Amino acid sequence: MKKLIIDRQTWLRGDKTSCLLNNNKHRCCLGFLAQQCGIKDKYIQNIGSLCEVIEEEKINIFNIIDLQFLIDMSGKGTYNSTDAYHLMEINDIPINVEMELQPGIVIRSELEREEFLKRKFAEYNIDVEFIN
């Protein structure tokens, strides 16, 4: 199982305007994953999703096996997968707001957000550890 480490001090979460890496060097959960898979910060700064990294920066993340589950190429382009959207929603939804993609689910605390992310990443053999 691959280990994903998310540092709470620089974790960008609970903000619908989130991105992989912002100007303050805070990153969402997928920003941490991209970094730990070797994608340089210059390619993910102020970018909303890994799908956009492919489109705007012309990076071939398909060579990075740990990121392939986040991309859907079943249509005429490159899109975020359903699971990528779910991870982004879990990461970005404010506390006590019902999720749009997963109706009926409300994250009530940061600890609960962490547990949701751990379960979702575990489906892809990624063990999440939160530090600090």
Count: domains in the chain: 1
Percent of the chain with pLDDT over 90: 50
Q: Which of 28, 27, 22 is nearest to 92 (CA)?
A: 28
Q: Residue 56: helix, strand or coil by DSSP?
A: helix
**For helices 82-92 and 110-122, what crossing angle results, to 10°?**
160
pLDDT at 64: 65
SS3 state of residue 35: helix
Give the mean pLDDT of the chain: 86
Mean predicted confidence (pLDDT) in 95-111: 83
pTM of the model: 0.88
Distance of CA 92 to the CA centre of its chain: 9
Q: Which domain holds residue 74?
A: 2-131
